[in-house]
Structure 1
Amino acid sequence: MADVIVSNVPGSFPWGVLHERHPALIARVRDATPYGPGRRGALDALLGEIDGAIGPLAPGAADRGVWEAWGSEKYVGRPWDEVPFLWAESYFYRRLLDAVGYFGPGPWRGIDPFAPFKAAELDGLAPPVAGLEEQALLHASLWGNRADLGFRISAGEAGLGERVTGLVADDSAGLWAVLDRGAPGRLCVVADNAGPELLPDLLLADQLLAAHRVSEVLLHVKPYPYYVSDATPADVIACLRRAGEAGKRLWQAMADGRFIVRAHPFSCAPLPYQDMPDDLRADFGSATLTIMKGDLNYRRLVCDRHWAATTPYATVTGYFPGPVAALRTLKSEVVVGLDEATVAALDAGGQSWRTAGTHALIQV
């Protein structure tokens, strides 16, 4: 099996996330909200820790036992660079929430530190276009994944490059074939980012329900703020209010039980989906199709390892309890399921196609 990715190679993508993106994020969070000296001092302490050893959760943290089961007992005290990158990156965001007082007593309890960034993106969105056909909505959902605030913090607007029209892998025909197999059933969508990505996700869900391609949509979002722009239940409500007639239909579908929003604790786990708990496995197993949105979900789906890019997607995801599709704009180095000719052509192109956010894939 391929090695688990760590972040101890200077200049690598994981190293850049921990040593460049995370300090920049701390600075932006510090400036976006008028935290007092205590919270600002905690953010500064977290910044100073990045080049040292991993610190513990705040004393009395209600989820300390959960994080111990997720690996904190063996990783806390070790250098950030030496533990699995997926774990380190996820734990950083949990520690950031400690620093701003999200879980503790006081005025900042439950206040999303990323809300100013999310609100600015949502306010800047044009009204949704009505009447798009399903394939166009699928591509809107796919390319909406470029709207990743964490990625923009390190890459900048220029780092996004131009949208490309070709995909490194496109099994959209397979996706529709799975949905059309038998009577309309449940579609699970595991959301990634709020705002510009979540809105087309919701429009696609509305279209599939209205066309009776599916009988029910189960949308998984994060139970608390995570990875800067990741969608939470509050973000779903905000997007529904911006989604026009589609938002009204989905609002009613929620009341009817045809559109269900779920925020499972494992959605914020620092672990691959291979380690999912039984109740989440039952959710995905009950679906005609599960769609995994975005880069982090893809990394978790394929266990965030140094796979060869030509490793078959079906081989790596064979543990999943039902059909699973990945819709992802490439913003990290992990990728599987490509043919040799595609990889050779992309590698010869002289650009960082795996990490620049300019290429995308649909795999089933």
Structure 2
Amino acid sequence: MSQPRVPHREAPPITCDEPDSFPWQVFHERHPVLIRRILEAVPYGQAERQAFAALLRESRQDQVAPLSPEAPDFDLWQVWGKEQFGRSWQQQRFLWAESYFYRRLLQAGGYFADGGWRGVDLFAPFKHAELDAPAFTADLTALDHQHALAEGEREQSLLMTAVWGNLADLGFTIAGKGPEETGALAADESDRLWPLLDGGLVTVVADNSGRELLADLALVDHLLAGGRAGEVSLLLKPQPYYISDATPRDVLDCLDRMTAAAGAAAGIGGRLRQALRDDRLRMRTHPFACAPLGYRDMPADLREEFAASALTIMKGDLNYRRLADDRLWPPTTPFAEVTAYFPGPVAALRTVKSDVVTGLDAETAAELDAADPSWRVSGTHAVIQVATPRDRE
């Protein structure tokens, strides 16, 4: 058997050390806003508030400090950070530094410590506000319209809603971006996605809670109810992460909101609840879901699940960054080559909100760069990309 193709050369990793770059802006502009919003929303005491301030100073000026040996994930981070601790934050790869920053946010908020803040989701006020917002109510009502569409049109509408739902990511909106309108697809391989769904296992790697999760759950319901999938494994974060990333608690909160509504939303929510009872829908968490690493470094048990799936659907920008190892690939580098290590068919449904992009044709890449050099981080474009083992031969 021939070996999978791999990119002809490794692209440079995205790092934090270039002033005014997107990673630099995240650490110097977005993170201070985020911490201010957290402290406005959650009544943390002085010890926690001081810990947040110290983390912000460290992440902009000092060396990366390791976790305390008492941390429940100390051993994991000793492996994940063995070459990073003691170096400046600016020297780090962006994927690693941003992931560790969010892990340290939980520490600053007392999430793992004994005491009153143990297990408290510091992002919960933002998540709950989104569930109660008029936009979420409008999305619930929009499911009635989708339900009335003809089968093929409804299927494509659900897929597109899942793609663009990532634009409602709370980290993006906190940074001042708004999900008022969707843009255009820079790559669309949706015609390759549907034939891969053969009634077997589909793994959906979730991204954000709230409006995006609602869109994802509507798509999952369609896959199960229409026989596209016999079972769905929904891979979620085991703990709060990246502001709005979905945990099992967020799924249950979203289902509660759906079943309390009227019309199609209530029907979808009820069917998904029953699917959970019947084990046709399984919520799954894994420590690697919060790892600062690309999927190239996934552990064996996760690799086995992806290999057993008829299709793995990777949602959102962060999962795309992890698929592509968060490197500055030339945008025409084939998606199948960048994901050659992946053990089974994979589809990426992503609103583009960071620098890494692959799989574009040369004309599209040139037109986008000429029209707006910031298009990679503005959320104005999205991709649907598919790769299978056959593509990598």
Structure 1: how far apart are the matches of 2:36 and 2:69? 24
What SS class does the counterpart of residue 332 from structure 2 fall into? coil
Q: Which runs of 5+ in 1 are unaligned?
A: none
Greater Cα shift, 276-285 or 130-139: 130-139
What do the CA deviations read for 1:306-355 (whole angstroms, capped 9, x no partner)? 10000000000011010000000010010000000001111111352111
Letter in 2 for 1:62: P
1:312–1:350 CA distance, 2 compared to 1 (3 A): same
What SS class does the counterpart of residue 65 from structure 1 fall into? helix
Aligned to 1:64: 74
Structure 2: how far apart are the matches of 1:199 and 1:62? 31
Aligned to 1:296: 318
Letter in 2 for 1:313: F
Aligned to 1:143: 164
Is the Cα contact below 8 Å between 1:311 and 1:337 reproduced in 2?
yes
Aligned to 1:155: 176
Aligned to 2:22: 13
Structure 2: how far apart are the matches of 1:113 and 1:237? 18
Match of 1:262 among 266, 269, 284: 284
Is the Cα contact below 8 Å between 1:161 and 1:357 reproduced in 2?
no
Is 1:233 the equivalent of 2:286? no
Is the Cα contact below 8 Å between 1:58 and 1:98 reproduced in 2?
no
Letter in 1 for 2:195: A
Letter in 1 for 2:86: G
Q: How does 1:40-51 map to 2 (within 5 A)?
A: 40-51=49-60
Q: How does 1:1-40 map to 2 (within 5 A)?
A: 1-40=10-49
Is the Cα contact below 8 Å between 1:114 and 1:225 reproduced in 2?
yes
What SS class does the counterpart of residue 354 from structure 2 fall into? coil
RMSD: 1.2
Aligned to 1:98: 107
Structure 2: how far apart are the matches of 1:351 and 1:209? 40
Aligned to 1:253: 275
Structure 1: how far apart are the matches of 2:69 and 2:56? 19
1:58, CA displacement in angstroms? 3.5
Q: Which runs of 5+ in 2 are unaligned?
A: 1-9, 259-265, 387-393
Is the Cα contact below 8 Å between 2:59 and 2:101 reproduced in 1?
no
Is the Cα contact below 8 Å between 1:327 and 1:361 reproduced in 2?
yes
1:276, CA displacement in angstroms? 0.3
TM-score normalised by the chain length of structure 2: 0.89
Is 1:357 the equivalent of 2:375? no
1:116, CA displacement in angstroms? 0.3
Structure 2: how far apart are the matches of 1:351 and 1:9? 17
1:234–1:168 CA distance, 2 compared to 1 (3 A): same
What SS class does the counterpart of residue 189 from structure 1 fall into? strand
What do the CA deviations read for 1:81-135 (whole angstroms, capped 9, x no partner)? 1011100000000000000000110011000000000111111111241305111
Structure 2: how far apart are the matches of 1:20 and 1:308? 27
Structure 2: how far apart are the matches of 1:138 and 1:156? 23
Give the paired residue count.
357
Structure 1: how far apart are the matches of 2:221 and 2:111? 33
Structure 1: how far apart are the matches of 2:125 and 2:87? 33
What do the CA deviations read for 1:206-241 (whole angstroms, capped 9, x no partner)? 011111111001100100000000000000001111
1:269, CA displacement in angstroms? 0.3
What do the CA deviations read for 1:37-71 (whole angstroms, capped 9, x no partner)? 11111111111112221122245111111001112
Structure 2: how far apart are the matches of 1:76 and 1:25? 24
Match of 2:306 among 284, 292, 296: 284
1:161–1:311 CA distance, 2 compared to 1 (3 A): farther
Structure 2: how far apart are the matches of 1:18 and 1:268? 19
Q: How does 1:291-330 map to 2 (within 5 A)?
A: 291-330=313-352
Aligned to 1:84: 93
Is the Cα contact below 8 Å between 2:204 and 2:313 reproduced in 1?
yes
What SS class does the counterpart of residue 169 from structure 1 fall into? strand
1:253, CA displacement in angstroms? 0.6
Structure 1: how far apart are the matches of 2:24 and 2:53? 20
Match of 2:369 among 344, 347, 354: 347
What SS class does the counterpart of residue 211 from structure 2 fall into? coil
Is 1:168 the equivalent of 2:183? no
Aligned to 2:5: none
Letter in 1 for 2:336: A
